[in-house]
Every structure is written in C-alpha cells, then in structure tokens.
Amino acid sequence: MLDQWYNGVVTRIVQETHNTRRFWIRIQGKEVFDFKAGQFVTLDLPIHEQKNKRWRSYSIASPPDGTNEIELVIVLLEGGAGTTYLFNEIKEGSTLVLKGPLGHFVLPENLDKELMFICTGTGIAPFRAMAHYINSHNIPHAPIHLIYGCRQQCDLLYADEMRKLEEEMPGFRYLPTLSREDNQWTGRKGYVHLIYEELVGLNKQPAHFFLCGWKNMIDEAKQRILAMGYDRHAIHQELYG
C-alpha cells in the first residue's frame, strides 16, 4: 500500500515568512489520514517527464489529529522547480497528488531519555508535530529541547506558538538561535551546535539527538555528538535537499 497515491485538495495557504508558506491539504478518499508525528509525504508535481524528477518530499508539520487534513511548511528555493511550481501555480482549491505517510523519523517508544530536537529552517516541521503530539496526549517524557537555528528573527517559523507551548508544556524548552546579527534580538546568537553541547555539559546524560535540516548542519552535528562520546544509535536524522 506504500505506493498508493492520493489526491489532496489545498484548503488553505498562509504566507508565513518572506519565502515560506504553510499549505493545508485535505486527503481525498480517506476519512482519517493516519501517520506518526515526524513522518513525511511525497508530492508528484507536473514538472518533469521522469517521475523520480517530479517527486518532492516534505515533513508533515501538523500532529496526527484524527482528521484527513495535514499541514506542510515549504520554503521557496531559488531555482527549485518543485517549490517554484508550488508557489506560482498552487492556490486554495488546487489539487496535489501525494503518497504517504513515509519515513522512520519518529519518536522512540519510551521518552525516558532527554530529547534534543535540532533543526534549521523548515526542519522544525517534524518537531512541531512531535511536540504537539506529546503534549496533547500527556505522554510522560524526559526534558525536551527544541534547538532551532535561523539567520534572522524574521525567518523563525511558529515562534509565538512554540513560546506558548513552552509555557504550557512541562519539561519543554524552545531555544531559537540566530546566526546573523540582529540588534532587536535578545535571545541566543550563533549556531545550534553550541547550544546542545552546552546543554549536555559535563554529565553527558542519556539522550536522543534528532536532526532535521540541511546536510552541512546534520554532518557537523553528527561529528560533534559522536565526539562528545555518544553512540551513533543515539542520532536520528532527516535530511533536507
């Protein structure tokens, strides 16, 4: 059944930042689109004759909620055929062809070790789904740290929502960090790596490191986490681009 394709109707589009949009898609022919927080869907876009050059995968940014509607958050890539099509051609009411849910980037069975959610840009999508899922189901968990790297404050996705979740959800910390100087910003500056290294500190508590974003961030994070003495099985990754 993995290769079953569905039609999805775009019910809503919101421009979230200057180059990022949120797309809500209702899957036709299914009363409930059942997936695990962290999984993705693959879209088949009419941008090439070869099917594997038409496929674009995006993490589901919404938690499983018993409905047939999902949310994707997508950044416009310069020269990217897929995102150019989505931004220029897709309107509310448009139909997209998609398959899923796919992927093994999901929460561990037991959340008894600290969770380090480390991401850049739209890589926050699966962690938003996971955090809301844990919160809404009151799942017991060790501390969760959402370490989110962006260039500037205007690039942060779901910032107000994550701050609200931090207030509501015991043991959840939202740690945005900006790599470009921003005089209005009183939060953390620099790159994500310094934050998880600082959090782990000297006691190296048991932890799961979930990495989602661009390849260079993930490669560097894996090297640093292994260098701190963690096992490679503690590292889970979802690569973008």
pLDDT tens column, 18-43: 999 999 999 999 999 999 999 999 99
Q: Are 212 and 118 in contact (CB under 8 A)?
A: yes
- Name which of 35-39, 46-50, 98-102, 183-187 the model is least confident about: 183-187
pLDDT number for residue 201 = 82
- DSSP-H helix ranges across the chain: 81-89, 125-136, 159-168, 192-200, 215-227
pLDDT number for residue 172 = 98
Own/partner contacts of 135-138, CB < 8 Å, gap of 24 or more, are 135/165, 135/168, 135/169, 135/172, 136/63
pLDDT number for residue 67 = 97
184-195 mean pLDDT:
93
Those residues with Cβ within 8 angstroms of residue 115's Cβ, 6 or more apart along the chain or in another chain:
141, 142, 143, 144, 145, 207, 208, 210
pLDDT number for residue 39 = 98
d(CA 230, CA 217): 18
pLDDT number for residue 120 = 96
* Domains of the chain from N-terminus onward: 5-102 (2.40.30.10), 114-240 (3.40.50.80)
